Chains A and B, each alone.
Chain A
């Protein structure tokens, strides 16, 4: 069974640019969550999508957005990048988020210069 796939794995952007990250969940999983991981703050919840609907949203500015497609694949977008957006962005899928048992991808490491 293929795991969670995130692309790209690494990317470098400059301040003010925007970025789109992609996540393909495990087949059959309908819930996709996104987390931002930084050394100082650990894993911070961004948002969760279930059946194409945003079900939960974390405490991030509106520059951070996401969506989920009918095949459960998800994308997140960050506009007007800031230096502080440099982080590892992790996607996690689950059949449902009721149990808290998440399956994480390897992450997309974003560096903002």
Chain B
């Protein structure tokens, strides 16, 4: 089945640093999404991307839909302690098909 390769698996950064993580796939997706999961909570949608090449921001977060439709990246600028959590990428083949999730990037922020 379809799989998403998300990297890095984990990262430790200093508060104030910028963060970059990415997701790649061997197959094409027509929608890319990024979710964040805090401890003890369910994932929360951060950014949704619907068009190849699209670059979208949400506050300090910026995500891009790769032009090949096989990858996406998420950047977080000027990290703060509340950025701690697990970030998941997800791809959707077409409308009404299930999301395929990456295995997540665990972010730790050192104050």
Chain B residue nearest in CB terms to A90 = B42
| A56: interface (CB < 8 Å) | yes
Asked if B98 contacts A33 (CB within 8 A), the reply is: yes
Asked if A4 contacts B96 (CB within 8 A), the reply is: no
Asked if A99 contacts B88 (CB within 8 A), the reply is: no
The verdict on A104 contacting B92 (CB below 8 Å), with A45-B98, A48-B98, A99-B48 known, is no
CB contacts under 8 Å to A, within B32-75, are 33, 35, 40-45, 48, 50
| A8: interface (CB < 8 Å) | no
Q: Which of these, B33, B41, B96, B100, contacts A97 with CB under 8 Å?
A: B96
Hey, what's the 0/1 contact readout for B96-109 against A, CB within 8 Å counting as 1?
A: 11111111100000
Can you offer 13 A-B residue contacts whose CB atoms are under 8 A?
A: A41-B103, A50-B96, A56-B96, A56-B98, A58-B98, A59-B1, A90-B43, A98-B95, A100-B31, A101-B33, A102-B99, A103-B45, A104-B44
Binding site for B on A (CB under 8 A): 4, 33, 35, 41-43, 45, 48, 50, 55-56, 58-59, 90, 92, 96-107
